[in-house]
Chain A
Amino acid sequence: MDVPLYLRPRIEPPLASLLGAAPFLHSLVDALGSPLNVLLPETIAENAARFRAVYRRHRLTGRLYFAHKANRSSALVRRLAAEDPAAVGIDVASLEELRHALSCGITGDRVMATGPKDPEFLWLAARVGATVNLDSPRELEQLAALVRGHGLGRVRVLARLSGFESTAGQSGAGTRVLSRRSRFGTPVRDAETLWSALERHSDAVELIGLAYHLDTTGLEEKVRALEQCVLLMDACRERGLAPRAVDIGGGFGVGYVADAGEWQRWTTALSEAVLGGRPPLTWRGHGYGLRNEGGTVRGSVALYPGHRPDAGPGYLDGLLSLPAPVLGREPGTLLLEHLHDLHIEPGRSLVDQCGLSLARVLDVRGTGADPDPYLVRLGMNAGDVSLEEHGVLMDPVLLSRGDPSGDGRDGDPEAERPVGVHLVGNLCLEADLITRRLVFLPRLPRPGDVLAFVNTAGYAMDFHAHHAQRQPSARTVAVEREGDSWRWCPDEDYWPITHPGGTPA
């Protein structure tokens, strides 16, 4: 085996020093079991500040709404509740998320209700003065009926739009930028009908802005949508509506892998492995979307782009700085000079570096004589750390039992060398692999060691967790640094005024 094909995660200071406290993390797993989720509530506030800095740079006003679906934690939401209400709110996509946000101290006026909504969700959102991000004209009818039938106050709404591709005629003859079809929002071609409906229901709802969310990393598609919204805002004003905000959704992304070179080496090696030029890098030669057709690689890699130097706030900055196709101005300037507020709904990027998932090593199978890589069984399953489910590839950090630096007391030099292992879960199911990738670790893990999957707070911690086979699901704790040590408390007991673990003496 040549150089181990590491994909080491990007770890920034608070998370790095937490990983340095291996005995602390071991004691948490000893006490609370494996798997275990650990969150750093302070970091979400720091991330919000980074997004706000981009707003300041572009002189923009408007609010950042945390997409709650990225993580179920109370600590993260409560920490955000303590931020400036004018700057930070929450985006909820279900009745329970809304209830949770309210219980965490986020007032109704700071809530954006998105996604498909049942009547109970709509009623509570309207009752507490949340902004409703309308998914369809039908939902507008439902909401208006609820408002009138139950004597609710006028509800602030955003109109979510989709299908910007159909208006691409304006972006210049001959060029068409394609986009994936979305199941959410009102197609732009039906906008006129929507405006009429908004006028008809103006006693029940107040249009405060237009919204979109595009599932793409492509800046050009998003700039086109943003500019279309600016143009459509004008169409609304012409009709006497008075929208003021453009909500551009989320999708700002996270850079998971620290080193561009490692990401490039690994993806190149994947192509070579698919072609048969090197041993497989994956369980049963899985190609992550690539396949070998007569010696040529076909297909496209279905993986999250691991190394993204400009993700998160940097991506927003880029989006606001790329000239728009019709008006030729940067979107940041367009918003500013049209006097529009900018709303964003970051999820994954707002919880970047906010937490990690721990798993105990239960069993290590295989020998040096066996050509197959070792199987390392963990006290968790693929649902507990759903990185693979989102196409995110990155190495866990090995936390040795005992000396945190990895002592090698066993004295077996074989065991102290970099080694490729398959990480398998605790379910009695062939498909329960934490990742199908052959993972390289600096040495062979031993039962009792802990593997830390870092940066899992965005969609990878509890989004897919389940109770199959009655395996325990992860508990979640919030931690905070205090001097040289760490304090912790259960996620549900965290409040922004208390130090985790109680008020210091």
Chain B
Amino acid sequence: MRYDSITDAIGNTPLVRIDPAVHGLRNIDLYAKLEMLNPFGSVKDRPAWHMARPHLEGAGDGEGTVVELSSGNTAKALALLAGMHGLKFKSVTNRMRVPEIKELLLLLGAEIEELPGRSECLDPTDTDDPLTHFHQVLTEPGSTYLHTDQYFNPRNVEAHAAGTGPEIVKDLDGRAPDWFVACVGTAGSSTGVARVLREHDPDVRVLGLVAHKSDFIPGIRTIDEVHQVGLFDPATYDTIESVTSGEAIDGMLTLIRRCGLLSGPTGGAAYQGAVRHLRDADEALEGAGRRETAVFIVCDRAESYLSYVRARRPELLGRTSRVPTLATLTEDDVRTDARSVGVDDARRWIAEGDPRPLVVDMRSPHAYAALHIEGSVNIVDELFEELVRGGLPFSKRTPVLLACPVGEKSLRHAALLTRMGHPDVRSLAGGIVAWRDAGAPLVRE
């Protein structure tokens, strides 16, 4: 397939049937609309391009900044689109909650502005939310901001009414599915697709999924948050149900491990919410002699959500190690294998030892530079841990004195080095703090 621009590759995503052996529904065919296969990686490519296009084609001279309230896929797509047109992109957000997405946006050249947290000492008469300021800046005279306004812009809905919706109908041989399941973020995809499907068949049932209120699923709003979305109209949905991050990850795992679909948590939530809801309808169809179809959207891909999974299901990303590591040391190991030396003895050892010990300061470089024991070398603890994973970094003939702030981490590391076969490694008892409190000299860089 040959294109003049990557934007021509947006849309026309596959509709893939989920194996009934996976979802267990006997009378409903479940299809996944693979929006993750859009060129920038998500369902947001469509509205981003449709909303930004008039701005970008009008801007021409490379002046201005595209700005959007987004901490995820819309920002990603807009950053790429702005870059293609020689413009800048700025994302304004409450908090970037997925670190990889933040780093990815920075890689794409986006500028990120994070709004202040809530006031602790609250003044209830101050109802000026941070967004008021945002809108003031946008409308200032001479502003070169191009605001795509995804939560209120009707072109967000149109992108799906013109693309996603008709594609589903076409791929189902001109028929609308009986069920359409969508996660509600900006409400753009659900509103746009539902409109088209209902034109074909007014009986289409639309299930909107929102995040459980105390929970966080990327790209999905909670029931309170959807009320703040200008495009959200409760009448679009026959049912609104909530899903948890646990269900989202369960669904994501099913799609990845059993269906070959590299879905992120949003798609996982849609799958899990769909199957949960359709189970009753499936029972009711038993023996009725007809089949129904359901479609859900796989919004984006898994790779950007590793830290999201790690925070919730660390065991899924667990690693095991063959060599002894700090993590495998028990308190007993530390007690039997670690030797420590007090400040006075350490000073004598450093001054008169034969050979003299190598002093390793395990604090961060900045703290080391500020004040340290003269002649010590600085290997910060996390680096040290990494270093010894490969083997002993010192000769066994060189005695070693390890120092950390209070003598706890250094004690564990001393135990570890001893277990790895070093004959004379000791930890500075009480650490640099005890050293300072004893009035022993510290120098600056």
In the complex, what residues of A have CB within 8 A of residue B109's CB? 174
Contact A288 B124 (CB under 8 A): yes
> Considering the chains assembled together, what is the distance between the CA atoms of A499 and B358 in angstroms?
59
Among B110, B124, B228, B363: residue with most chain A CB under 10 A = B124
> Considering the chains assembled together, what is the distance between the CA atoms of A267 and B213 in angstroms?
10
In the complex, what residues of A have CB within 8 A of residue B364's CB? 327-329, 333-334, 337
In the complex, what residues of B have CB within 8 A of residue A490's CB? none
> Considering the chains assembled together, what is the distance between the CA atoms of A338 and B148 in angstroms?
46
Selected contact of B223 from candidates A59, A180, A268, A388, CB within 8 Å = A268
Are A220 and B95 also in contact (CB < 8 A) when A302-B124, A337-B367 are?
yes
Selected contact of B117 from candidates A61, A221, A295, CB within 8 Å = A221
Interface assignment of A504: CB less than 8 Å from any CB of chain B: no
> Considering the chains assembled together, what is the distance between the CA atoms of A233 and B367 in angstroms?
11
The segment from A211-219, A360-368, A471-479 that touches chain B is: A211-219
Interface residues in B320-364 (C-beta closer than 8 Å to A): 363-364
Are A388 and B124 also in contact (CB < 8 A) when A296-B227, A339-B405 are?
yes
By beta carbon, the residue of chain A nearest B230 is A296
Chain A 209-248 against B: per-residue CB contact (8 Å), 1 yes, 0 no? 0000001111111000000001101100110000000000
Contact A216 B116 (CB under 8 A): yes
In the complex, what residues of A have CB within 8 A of residue B2's CB? none
By beta carbon, the residue of chain A nearest B367 is A337
> Considering the chains assembled together, what is the distance between the CA atoms of A61 and B433 in angstroms?
10
Chain A 326-357 against B: per-residue CB contact (8 Å), 1 yes, 0 no? 01110001101111000000000000000000
In the complex, what residues of A have CB within 8 A of residue B95's CB? 218, 220
Contact A216 B124 (CB under 8 A): no
Contact B232 A296 (CB under 8 A): yes
Interface residues in B201-235 (C-beta closer than 8 Å to A): 213-214, 223-224, 227-230, 232-233
Interface assignment of A138: CB less than 8 Å from any CB of chain B: no
Contact A305 B213 (CB under 8 A): no
> Considering the chains assembled together, what is the distance between the CA atoms of A253 and B370 in angstroms?
33
In the complex, what residues of A have CB within 8 A of residue B122's CB? 302-304, 390-391
In the complex, what residues of B have CB within 8 A of residue A231's CB? 366
A-B contact count (CB 8 A): 142
> Considering the chains assembled together, what is the distance between the CA atoms of A216 and B119 in angstroms?
4
In the complex, what residues of A have CB within 8 A of residue B441's CB? none
> Considering the chains assembled together, what is the distance between the CA atoms of A336 and B406 in angstroms?
8
Are A217 and B224 also in contact (CB < 8 A) when A59-B406, A172-B106 are?
no
Are A271 and B227 also in contact (CB < 8 A) when A59-B406, A176-B112, A220-B95 are?
yes
> Considering the chains assembled together, what is the distance between the CA atoms of A299 and B114 in angstroms?
18
Contact A218 B116 (CB under 8 A): yes
Are A327 and B366 also in contact (CB < 8 A) when A59-B405, A267-B224, A298-B228 are?
yes
A272, chain B: closest CB distance, angstroms = 8
By beta carbon, the residue of chain B nearest A347 is B121
> Considering the chains assembled together, what is the distance between the CA atoms of A415 and B125 in angstroms?
36
Contact B118 A389 (CB under 8 A): no
In the complex, what residues of A have CB within 8 A of residue B223's CB? 268
Interface residues in A297-337 (C-beta closer than 8 Å to B): 297-300, 302-305, 327-329, 333-334, 336-337
Are A237 and B370 also in contact (CB < 8 A) when A178-B130, A389-B124 are?
yes
Interface size, chain A (Cβ < 8 Å): 60
Interface assignment of B444: CB less than 8 Å from any CB of chain A: yes
By beta carbon, the residue of chain B nearest A233 is B370
In the complex, what residues of B have CB within 8 A of residue A329's CB? 364
Contact A299 B127 (CB under 8 A): yes
Contact B102 A175 (CB under 8 A): yes
Interface assignment of B111: CB less than 8 Å from any CB of chain A: yes
Selected contact of A218 from candidates B117, B127, B370, B404, CB within 8 Å = B117
Interface assignment of A21: CB less than 8 Å from any CB of chain B: no
In the complex, what residues of A have CB within 8 A of residue B110's CB? 174
Interface assignment of A207: CB less than 8 Å from any CB of chain B: no
Chain A 44-60 against B: per-residue CB contact (8 Å), 1 yes, 0 no? 00000000000000010
In the complex, what residues of B have CB within 8 A of residue A260's CB? 214
25 A-B contacts (beta carbon < 8 Å): A174-B109, A174-B110, A176-B112, A176-B113, A180-B116, A216-B118, A219-B117, A220-B95, A220-B117, A221-B116, A238-B444, A271-B227, A289-B129, A296-B230, A299-B127, A303-B124, A333-B405, A336-B405, A336-B406, A337-B363, A337-B367, A339-B367, A339-B371, A339-B436, A390-B122
Binding site for A on B (CB under 8 A): 95, 102, 105-106, 109-127, 129-131, 213-214, 223-224, 227-230, 232-233, 363-364, 366-367, 369-371, 404-406, 408, 432-433, 436, 444
Known: A288-B124, A329-B364, A338-B367; 12 extra A-B contacts, CB below 8 A, are A174-B111, A175-B114, A217-B118, A217-B119, A221-B116, A234-B366, A238-B444, A302-B122, A333-B405, A337-B363, A337-B367, A391-B124
